[in-house]
């Protein structure tokens, strides 16, 4: 099939970007969306043009590197998948796809579709861990953890840090990302020791990075490829209120 693309091109951080149109023919429905971009890029290189830069690595929805908005939807039109997991069978011959980078003040564009998500790392640095050193830990079975808690912690811990939640949020809030981490540790005995300091520090860093305030629209939950639920934000709020006020 034939696919028309309208892609955001931006040379570097300082440059002013704009849209550019491309058309890719002989697209097979078995191809992934990125394989279609690969094809286009190879054609561009052969023609001596600059290929479209986009972040990707695992191409199986787990590393969190990839992330583009396709027709205004973070990671494309499907629910529960990343951009790299999207296949061309989700589109029709002749479709026009508008492909844009994540847009948020805290995710500056580096080039084309590549953005800088260091702000996420800095939030993690501010408290996304249990403060223990290597060695001297008790036997793994010394603390039984109810399966239901372990499973809930896991559900939150599956966040891949892709930033789709921020990208789609009209407030560019990072509450789902932060909420997932805080919830994981709230459910586990290992995380309880530092829960007050952790949540205060992570929220402070989140605010300092310039992410917006959540207004509970729920777009993040709808777009999160790992289907992290809004309950994680409620837990974050509760933990923060408890830590700040009680």
Partner 1 sequence: MDCPVVWLYCGGYIMAFNSNIPEGPLKDKWTDHLFNMKLVNPSNKRKYKIIVVGTGLAGGSAAATLAELGYNVEAFSYHESPRRAHSIAAQGGINAAKNYPNDGDSIYRLFYDTIKGGDYRAREANVHRLAEISNNIIDQCVAQGVPFAREYGGLLDNRSFGGAQVSRTFYARGQTGQQLLLGAYSALTRQMKTGNVKFHPRHEMLDLVMVDDKARGIITRNLETGEIKSHAADAVILATGGYGNVFYLSTNAMASNATAAWRAHRKGAYFANPCFTQIHPTCIPVSSEHQSKLTLMSESLRNDGRVWVPKEKGDKRKASEIPENERDYYLERMYPSFGNLVPRDVASRRAKNMCDAGHGVGETGLAVYLDFSDVISRNGQEWVAEKYGNLFDMYKQITGENPYEGPMMIYPAVHYTMGGLWVDYNLMSSIEGLHVLGEANFSDHGANRLGASALMQGLADGYFVIPYTIGNYLASNKLVDIDTNHPAFKDAEDKLKESNDKLFAIKGSRTVDDFHKELGKIMWEYVGMARNKEGLEKALVEIPKLRKEFWKDVKIPGSETELNPELEKAGRLADFLELGELMARDALNREESCGGHFRQEFQTEENEAKRNDADFTFAAAWEYKGENQTPELHKEDLNFEHVKLTTRSYK
Partner 2 sequence: MNWLTTFMNSSIGKKFTMGTSGLLLCLFIAQHLVGNMMLFGGEALFNSYVATLSAFKPLVRIIEVIISIIFLSHIISGIRLTLDNKRANSSSYNVNTGSETSSFSSRTMAITGSVVFIFVIMHLSTIWYRFQLVHGSGSYYDIILGDAVGFGNPIYAAFYVVAMILMGVHLKHGFQSAFQTFGVSDSRYKGLIEKMSMIFWLVIPAGFTWIALWFGFIAEAI
Task: Give the number of other Cβ atoms within 10 Å of residue 139's Cβ.
Answer: 6
What string marks each residue from 202 to 221 as x (binds partner 2 by CB under 8 A) or -? -xx-xx--xxxxxxxxxx--
Q: Could you give the count of Cα atoms lying within 13 Å of 130 in the half-sphere of its Cβ?
A: 14
- Strand pairing category for 109-111 and 73-74: unpaired
- Considering only the stretches 25-33, 35-43, 45-53, 70-78, report the one whose residues sit in contact with partner 2 under the rule CB under 8 A: 70-78
Q: Is 62 in the site for ligand FES (CB under 6 A)?
A: yes
Q: Is 90 in the site for partner 2 (CB under 8 A)?
A: no
- Residue 111 vs 226, nearer CB to ligand SF4: 226
Q: Is 50 in the site for partner 1 (CB under 8 A)?
A: yes
The vertex-136 CA angle with 132 and 139, nearest 5°, equals 100
- Residue 16 vs 141, nearer CB to partner 1: 141
Would you give the end-to-end CA distance of the chain in angstroms? 60
Residue 6 is inside which H or E element, if any? strand 3-9
Residues 209-238 that bind ligand HEM (CB under 6 A): 215-216
- Size of the chain, expressed as the number of residues it contains: 246
Q: Is 63 in the site for partner 2 (CB under 8 A)?
A: no
What does the DSSP 8-state code read for residue 52?
A: P
Binder to ligand FES among 58, 81, 110, 124 (CB under 6 A)?
A: 58
The CB-of-196 to ligand HEM minimum distance in angstroms stands at 22
């Amino acid at each position: 099939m034939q696919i028309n693309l309208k892609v955001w091109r931006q040379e570097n951080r300082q440059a002013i970007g704009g849209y550019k149109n491309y058309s890719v023919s002989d697209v097979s429905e078995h191809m992934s969306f990125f394989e279609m971009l690969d094809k286009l890029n190879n054609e561009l290189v052969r023609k001596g043009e600059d290929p479209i830069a986009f972040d990707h690595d695992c191409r199986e929805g787990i590393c969190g590197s990839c992330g583009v908005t396709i027709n205004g939807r973070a990671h494309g039109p499907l629910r529960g998948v990343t951009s790299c997991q999207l296949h061309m069978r989700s589109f029709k011959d002749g479709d026009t796809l508008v492909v844009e980078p994540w847009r948020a003040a805290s995710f500056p564009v580096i080039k084309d579709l590549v953005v800088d998500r260091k702000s996420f790392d800095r939030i993690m640095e501010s408290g996304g861990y249990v403060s223990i050193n290597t060695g001297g830990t008790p036997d793994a079975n010394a603390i039984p953890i109810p399966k239901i808690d372990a499973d809930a912690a896991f559900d939150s811990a599956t966040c891949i840090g892709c930033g789709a939640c921020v990208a789609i949020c009209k407030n560019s809030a990072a509450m789902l990302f932060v909420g997932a981490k805080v919830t994981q540790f709230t459910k586990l005995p290992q995380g309880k020791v530092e829960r007050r300091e952790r949540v205060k520090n992570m929220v402070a860093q989140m605010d300092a990075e310039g992410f917006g305030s959540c207004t509970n629209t729920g777009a993040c939950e709808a777009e999160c490829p790992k289907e992290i639920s809004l309950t994680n934000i409620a837990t974050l709020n509760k933990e923060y209120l408890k830590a700040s006020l009680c």
